Structure 1
Amino acid sequence: MPAPTRNTFGEGLEAYGQIVMSNTKAISRFGGRLAVLYKFVDAALPQLTLAQRMEVEHCCRQGIEHVLSLSDDGHCPLSITKRCCSRPMFS
């Protein structure tokens, strides 16, 4: 059985650079998608009635709470909850 080879510093650095480039591209794509979604929301919400916007806000808050409950082992501090939930999301 041949002995395992070890990466040289240059090979490790090259691999690290490839990972950084891959992550940079992924973040850029994500940022582009997020910008498009923001523009869509900015264009779509004014077309809704006040009642429809309130329903969208309610559903959005429920969705956010659900996602946070899946990813959080603790509870959100009350001060943050009050600050985030006291103002309307969509006016």
Structure 2
Amino acid sequence: MDKHHLALEELAALAKKNTVNLSNLAAKSVACQKFIEAALPYLTAAQSVEISRAFREKIEDVMALMDDVALPAEYHSTLLEKTNELLDSLAARRA
């Protein structure tokens, strides 16, 4: 085999590995989202307040850690978008 064919095979293997990793991450995300959707209706207003506070602290911790890591802007915008979505859902439980 020539080196170009080998390089293409390595690229194909890497693409397959990345697809599997992305699929695993997506599956975990779906499971977490469905858990949230199932659990949220059972929270009391007081529980929603406490969870919001604790969640904000955890997100702030993650954001502080991520300051030292070069990540694309899309990571940060997606994190903030999902965080706000969850906080809005918790706030609706208090209303």
Q: Same fold (TM over 0.5)?
A: yes
Q: How many residues align?
A: 75
| Distance in 1, Cα, partners of 2:5 & 2:46 | 61
Bigger RCO (CA 8 Å, 6+ sep)? 2
Percent of paired sites with the same residue? 31
**Structure-1 separation of matches of 2:48 and 2:41:** 9
SS at match of 2:88: coil
C-alpha RMSD of matched pairs (Å): 2.1
Segments of 5+ residues of structure 1 without an aligned counterpart are: 1-6, 74-79
Normalization by structure 2: what TM-score?
0.70
Match of 1:55 among 39, 45, 50: 50
Please list every run of at least 4 consecutive aligned residues from structure 1 whose deviation after the TM superposition is greater than 6 angstroms. Answer: none
Q: Which has the higher helix share?
A: 2
- Residue 22 of structure 1 corresponds to which residue in structure 2? 17
The structure whose Rg is larger is 1
Alpha-carbon offset, residue 53 of structure 1? 0.9
